[in-house]
A and B are shown apart, each in its own frame.
Chain A
Amino acid sequence: MAVRERDPHSGHMTTGHDWDGIKELNTPVPRAVWFFLSLAALFSVGYWILMPAWPLGRTYTKGLLGIDQKSQVAKHLDVSATQKANWASRIAKLDVPQIRADAALMAVVREDGHRLFGDNCAACHGMKATGGNGFPNLVDADWLWGGDPQTVAHTIEVGVNSGMEGSRVNQMLAFGRDGILDNDAILAVTAYVQSLSVPSSAKGQAAQVNAGRAIFAANCEVCHGPTGRGNQAIGVPNLTDTHWIYGGDAPSIYTSIYGGRQGVMPAWGQRLSAVDRKILTAYVLDLGTKQ
């Protein structure tokens, strides 16, 4: 039944098999196949001789080159540590104003700070440190806890409401949800607070604003101060400027008063080295200066 025939196109013989009309030529395997198969096998054998390759019970063939990935990583880390050593030790010794005065160190701060900020801070504060709803802008002139180098460094180290020991702690009460103020009172105080920052908003609602002023004095002044300028010592925002963390329009102010606020920033003291935190401090202050 197996009828071998010659394929007119290729000139090769068929195997004589026929499956539902499909035939096969008996073409020999091209030499190149054996060549490349041998080449790949030879390369592999060579690689096995030089590198860790075959298991031997509880151990394995280590390879003539004596290379393994763990020692390679250790070597790379050593090289990188040497490269960093000369500037890292200087940053460790100097304080932030001194670092900011040193052009060579600031070049490192701008490079490495960009990466550190991007990997650790940008998720909340944004790639350009301009913040977003619920997250403070770090490049404007307004600081919640203070913008001198030591204060910024301390905030980075301990965080805000982070749960770490020594964390900065701050909470605004939920005046509406907890029943301290009723709806009318919140509306009044909202109008007053908005007028602190945008005086023109008081037009046409003088009664509301005046009522709000009294409620503010009784409930808000203790933290935000008699003029509403806040208090950096306890992380209380200034209500008279135009920088708002949670929004400065009436609905946003209402929401903040109704539900309170307790923003969280993680503590970086355990996650980033002292040098990295110092770089971030200098980097953030530098960003603010540039803008």
Chain B
Amino acid sequence: MVSNLTVGERQGALAILIVLTLCGLVMAAAAAGHGDPMEMHGYLVMLFSLGVMAILLRGFLAPPPSEARLASYYDDPIKVGIIIAMIWAVFGMIIGDWVAWLLAYPDATFDAAWASFGRMRPAHTSGVIFGFGGNALIATSFHVMQRTSRARLPDQLSPWFVLLGYNLFCLIGISGYFMGVTQSKEYAEPEWYADIWLVVVWVAYFILYMRTLARRKEPHIYVANWYYLAFILVVAILHIVNNLAVPVSFAGAKSYSLFAGVQDAMTQWWYGHNAVAFFLTAGFLGMMYYYLPKRAQRPIYSYRMSIVGFWGITFFYMWAGSHHLHYTALPEWVQTLGMTFSLMLLVPSWIAAANALLTLNGAWDRVRDDATLRFMMMAAVFYGLSTFEGSFMAIRPVNALSHYTDWTIAHVHAGVLGWVSLIVFGSFYALIPWLWKRERMYSPTLVEVHFWLALSGTLVYVFSMWNSGIIQGLMWRTYNDSGTLTYSFLDSVVAMHPYYVARAIGGLLFLSGTLVGCYNMWRTIRWSSAISAAAPDELAPPELLPAE
């Protein structure tokens, strides 16, 4: 892979890695001696940089790549991104299912700080959202932007910088949770130095995307790219604003947020909800808008609906964050705006879901026969379901019942298992044979098995959490005739037990599906005997060659 970098890019990469190693050294040295976890993170940064450097140096003196490479797309980082995404998926889902069992059987853990629920839970959420979801987004965005722009990535160093730099951020963040490093902001737990690093990586990602778009050979920018670009741009804004903080010392991990009190809560949930909107929705809609019509071989149902849906989603989502803070110290007028904009948001969300499902008109026979396409179809269905549920839960009186209960967990997992994971798996199953030039996935039967495991796992999970959430909500608000609460909190905890067991089983089904998927993907990649003639979409048209 290093042999595909130009000599200049290899030198650039070496320079970046040397600087990064020194950064790690400075971090470790600054934090050493007073037992601060930043010391470990310094070593982690050094180790990571040296590891990448070892790979780089092994191919450093290889002959420079031929000019012929410019006639085709640059896919190496996409392949690596897919593999990394699946590794994170397995890690994040194992931790997730472990903590699910822990909720049903609280003693099923080690008597160690790192194994406590409070540390493992963010390791699960960051592992699946940022590790699995983020890498899937980066990998597919590199693929989609090249194809739909008919332009090769502008250089070969920056995609590697984005992909590997992003994973360094994930590693710092998640290893930090196990050591007790957190800002206590949900989905924004990593501390200040990890946040600064992510800003650097993310700006590089944005510039890379813009440069590729600027080189495009198509007169228009495809809708998938609007969504990917919204994802990159808005996540940058959200990340920077919500993580504004003052470190206690540059020699330590701890920092304090610039915001306090209800302003802090509002900033956090403006971030948190738009992370759902632009990380978990916009980016994956970009994925759906490319891989679904590609696989179904059908035109997008309506260009006009794409436009209305996109601008509706980007405009309305920005206002909706305050619905996470109904009936709190947040002024009620902010809650009103959050609720009403969440309701209006349903319409563009359903436009996007409908546009996807109507695109399948004329290809439903393929949905029936092809589990890969069925993954994407089911993802669109769950996207529609969970956006409806989200708008419904944003209504204040509904939220009075659902808030702080497992209903929220059901909603989130209908979104991330049913929508995000299924669209990623569908896209990967479509993409992997194209990238590795295989005729098809190693085993279509295993794709089918994965589909049913994932779907049944999602349904078991979501239904058990719907039940437990609504029972919790009702138990917490039931009064008896004498005017006092009927149930103690512990009563509701005891009542949750069977649902927590069911949820953990649902998670186990989903995790098993993911493992089956990993096996199938691995066999497809290693399946040397079945290399087919390059699929037509792999051949870059001759006009792809740089004009100069």
Interface residues of A (CB under 8 A from B): 1-2, 7, 9-10, 14-15, 17, 19-30, 33, 36-37, 40-41, 43-44, 47-48, 51-55, 60-61, 68-69, 79-84, 87, 107-108, 111-112, 114-119, 122-123, 127
Contact = CB atoms under 8 A, between A and B. Distances in A.
B222 A37 contact: no
Interface string B478-516: 011111111111110010000000000000000000000
B327 A118 contact: no
A9 B363 CA distance: 10
Contact of B304 (A29, A55, A83, A107): A29
Contacts of B337: 53-54
B303 A26 contact: yes
Contact of A87 (B361, B482, B486): B482
B488 A19 contact: no
A15 B482 contact: no
Contact of A43 (B147, B219, B327, B340): B340
Contact of B490 (A28, A40, A127): A127
B487 A115 contact: yes
Contacts of A68: 332
B540 to A, nearest CB: 10
A115 B487 CA distance: 5
Contacts of A9: 298, 361-362
Contact of A111 (B302, B305, B480): B480
A47 B488 contact: no
B308 interface: yes
B4 interface: no
A108 B347 contact: no
Q: Is the interface of B mostly helix, strand, loop or mixed?
A: helix
A40 B346 CA distance: 9
A280 to B, nearest CB: 12
B300 interface: yes
Interface residues of B, number: 55
B110 interface: no
Contacts of B490: 118-119, 122-123, 127
A111 B347 contact: no
B336 A48 contact: yes
Given A22-B294, A37-B347, A115 B485 contact: yes
List the 8 closest A-B pairs by CB distance, nearest first: A118-B488, A83-B483, A9-B362, A27-B302, A44-B340, A23-B299, A24-B303, A20-B147
Contact of B483 (A7, A21, A84): A84
B62 to A, nearest CB: 31
Given A17-B218, A25-B302, A27-B304, 12 more contacts: A9-B361, A20-B148, A24-B223, A24-B300, A29-B304, A33-B347, A40-B343, A44-B340, A52-B332, A83-B483, A118-B491, A123-B490
A24 B494 contact: no
A33 B305 contact: yes
Given A7-B299, A20-B537, A48-B340, A33 B351 contact: yes
Interface of B: 147-148, 150, 218-220, 222-223, 290, 293-294, 298-306, 308, 312, 327, 331-333, 335-337, 339-341, 343-344, 346-348, 351, 361-362, 479-491, 494, 537
A24 B299 contact: yes
A119 B341 contact: no
Contacts of B150: 20
Nearest to B359: A25
Contact of A47 (B294, B306, B340): B340
Contacts of A19: 147-148, 218, 222
B331 A29 contact: no
Contacts of A40: 343-344, 346-347
B300 A23 contact: yes
B488 A37 contact: no
Given A20-B148, A22-B290, A25-B303, A10 B333 contact: no
A68 B331 CA distance: 9
A115 B486 contact: yes
Contact of A15 (B303, B305, B348): B303
A54 B333 contact: yes
A116 B304 CA distance: 59
Contacts of A61: 333
A219 B222 CA distance: 88
Contacts of B332: 51-52, 68-69
A122 to B, nearest CB: 5
